[in-house]
Structure 1
Amino acid sequence: MASLRQLLDSLSKEQRRNQELLASLAFALRSFTNLGRFLELVPLVATRLVDAEGALLVAFLPDGRLWREQLHGGPAELLRQVASLSDAQFQQASGDEAVASLLDALVRRQLADRPLVATSLTARSRIRGRLYVYGAKTGFSWSESHRRHVQLVADLAGVALEGDDLLQEARRHERLDRQLSTGAAIQAQLLPDQCPVIEGVELAASCRAAFQVGGDYYDFIPTRPQLLGRMREQSRWALVIGDVMGKGVPAGLLMTLLRGMLRAEVLSGHPPDRILHDLNQLAQEDLSQSHRFVTLFYSDFDPRTRLLRYANAAHNPPLIWRKLRHAVERLDAPGLLIGLQSEAEYGCEQIVLDPGDVLLCYTDGVTEASGLNGERFDEERLVKALEAACRSGVGAQGILDQLFARLDRFVGSDRQLDDDASMVVLKVREEVMLPSLPH
């Protein structure tokens, strides 16, 4: 009876010890901030759990290569042999089972006279490493309980490796989000934060990006930036709207590049068709390497004569509300996409705006916006919305607000736009008509 009691006490102590070891490893798994420190515990805990002589932990990188910085345990010669395996050997042993067989053969050669058990560190059906536990040369045997304990330790190690992958991925996403936020802030600064004062007209503009960084662009550029005050307000201004094919960061970077080229070209004083011709040649190499193209509507407006000259590089033709006729017309001119052909030619047209006329420039994100039923907003709806806004008698900002409100109702207030949507409104102020005096 005394011997039986001693055996039970011994088993109870061993069970409590094993529970404490597993609990400590589980606690370390919940709270670890350093993967290497946690993995150092794995062979130690596995060894003590089964009263073995030692253990070796071999971890793999997420791409399947040997993670040499995460080899833990011993013996030292075996560690050196495993670390000397080349990436080419791992690539040749394609597949989890082949890699496990390669390692097992090496370990068994080094520990040929030791009782050995090997198991995989698995997470989400992927083998993330191998755990080897070996006993003394004599007096050691493996039980089913030993094997279960070793497997449990290996599973916890697999969870740790997978958790570290997810943590690193989350950190990469955080860094990318910060970079995108920075890029969005920089791009927002490149778009005019407010419309300039041009004599005789009202201006309003807005861009809604589908992503943090977008490919839409609009600008108001003085053709004689050296002028100040009223002389600047009365000078000719360039009004531009464009769209890089594509979305996100690449489109935003290209549009930023084009903005710098265009602003430099405006200073030449050339007419709109020449501006687009030169811009197309300047941007040809950069756009051809990116395999992207740009649509661009370029115009210049003279407040003294109300003459609008314009050229179009395959952009959506702007709409103009003619106050006297109460009708909407399209402004278009022949021309190819920027970056499509090096020697492209562009036509130049012109129109005199009358008091009360409204010019609307927009990108295809407006007309191609999809509604709840899958239909596109299309140009016809935009024309009707423009007519209604112009008939209401509000100013440029009021017209812009009504147009975006109509677009929001069509798309749905809780839905994201599929593409960047930008609109620029220019309204010619209506002249005050004084009554004629009798003779």
Structure 2
Amino acid sequence: MKFAYTNMPPELRDSMPLLRESAKELLFAHNNSAIRVATSMRGGTIHRLHISEMGKIARKYPAKATEIVTGALPAVPANGVATIESTAEGTEGEFFDIAQRAENMAKAGVKAGPGQFKFHFFPWFMDPGYVANPRKVKISAKQHEYFDKLEIEVDQPISMRQRAWYVLKMENDFSGDQQKMFQEMPSTPKEAWSRSTEGTYLTPQLDLARRQGRIGNVPYMPGLPVHTFWDIGAGDGTGIWLMQQHGLASRFIRYIEDWGKGYSHYVNELRRTGFVFGQMYLPHDATQTRQLETKIGAPLDMLQDLAPDWSWQIVPRVHDFQAGIEILRNRFSEAWIDEEGCKEGIQHLSLYRKKFNTRLGQFIDEPEKQDGHSEAADAIRQWAQGFTPSLIPATGGNRRSGGRKRTRSTGMTA
């Protein structure tokens, strides 16, 4: 801002002398107005507010994004102007919520009114400078197929020079990573919202499952028992995957979750399905004493009291969290997931990621537990770590496994 002010025509600059200047503010003497740069703008009246890279702020520093929404935006009066520009960073967070509302209004043909944002999207091919010599770039048949589909979608031709630039940019700047290209140089809003794979645990496994058709219509198969895999939170969320084993395929037909509910709620939800249940797999800490709804005890004890006719199994604990993630990744090729019945679970798995250390400015090898996505991942890990089709015990009766140390085929101990 100081550079722009300094390089204005002298007569214009002289009519607006500075009273005070610093790294964060230019205060003008002629009318006491100011231009400020800050990470928070709470308080006062801001007639022109520009917010940069809010998508990245919302993903890595959600508390700061909340401060912008609750502090900075309300400081703009009805006759003021607020603009937000950013690279999109997935389908969650304050920036996505604001932009999604504006985009939905635009799609519906609704004109933005006072206090509402108007959606603007600028694809890479709008820039006339984004061209390259096609004779010096090898464009594959698959890449041409992408551009041909894009032409139909945006109703605009994508020239050979534009195609060459895109391929060259992706190969040189992003090492051929299409996902990074979607994030930084999107062709459509849908691509822009495509979640960055940085810090995620299961994105490659989910992408492969979709390509292989293992996420789609996976219906309930009458005659096969339904096994369940639980993550039971200590006072927070509980997630349950419902699965039928058919040959070598683990068919996940439904996902159930909720927060702040007692175990009786989940037992009732499962009974309402009318399914015939096989084994109920619980995490290792289900045997640990904790404060329950009205008493102190182990979750397993309470669940056995609520459903004595079900067979409960305790999944042994692996030696560390990362080992459990690797087991899940390795077994994910066995999973077939119903897209409708497990919609929330699939979304949680796609957003399950490492914790971001704001001090170090990088992801660390710990799961993020505060965003509501860990329950689904922890629940499906019980399947990967504890379910072996050939070792399914007979159904019925009240069984309790895992009460004493045993060695599994993996060599790990409970």
> Given the two structures, how large is their TM-score scaled by the length of structure 2?
0.21
User: Which of the two has greater helix per residue?
Assistant: 1
Per the normalisation by structure 1, the TM-score is 0.20
Which structure has the larger Rg?
Answer: 1
